Amino acid sequence: MSVVDRFRRSMNDHDLDALFDCFHEDYRSETPAHPERSFTGREQVRENWIQMFETTPNIAVEFPRVTVDGDTAWIELRMHGTQTDGDTVDVRGVVIKGIVDDRIQWGRIYLEPVQQSADVTWEEVYAGEEHK
């Protein structure tokens, strides 16, 4: 099974050890649209997913499309579930993963929450306004 398959399966199985094993020790995560979320080291991967599994115990992950080109995987991703406070999680986007020795060595994350309100226009989104 490829690391991309193991990555998806471990998230859906909520198997923290299997998920952790998908990543190189020196994993680098970059979030270009939110640079403050970038980090280095797979220990942070563990911490992030501990929090995710605790706050969204029914989190499910789908990969509608995957393309692997050499040592790079382009993954269309959807994560959804219900948080312990009752809020819905629905995040979609693309992640690009660099693969070395069948482990993820780096990632570029382009994920955003799905807009829940139809009352917000594109102009308001790009202006940074929020409406409920």
What average pLDDT does this structure show over 101-124? Answer: 84
Helix (H) or strand (E) holding 12, with range, is helix 3-12
Separation CA 126–CA 7 (nearest Å):
33
91 has pLDDT over 50: yes
Q: How buried is 19 (Cβ within 10 angstroms: 0-12 exposed, 13-18 middle, 19+ buried)?
A: buried
Residue-level pLDDT at 116: 76
Structure tokens, 79: 């994560």
pLDDT at 125: 59
Number of C-beta neighbours around residue 39 at 10 A: 16
Q: What share of the chain has pLDDT > 70, as a percent?
A: 87
pLDDT 10s digits, 52-71 = 999 999 999 999 999 999 99
Query: Do residues 46 and 22 lie in contact, with contact meaning Cβ atoms separated by under 8 Å?
Result: no
Q: What is the mean pLDDT of the chain?
A: 91
3-state per-residue secondary structure call for 61-91:
EEEEEEEEECCEEEEEEEEEEECCCCCEEEE
Give the strand pairing for 103-113 and 88-100.
Answer: antiparallel
Question: Which structural domains are found in the chain, ordered by start?
Answer: 3-127 (3.10.450.50)
pLDDT of residue 2: 94
Q: How far apart are CA 42 and CA 29, in angstroms?
A: 9
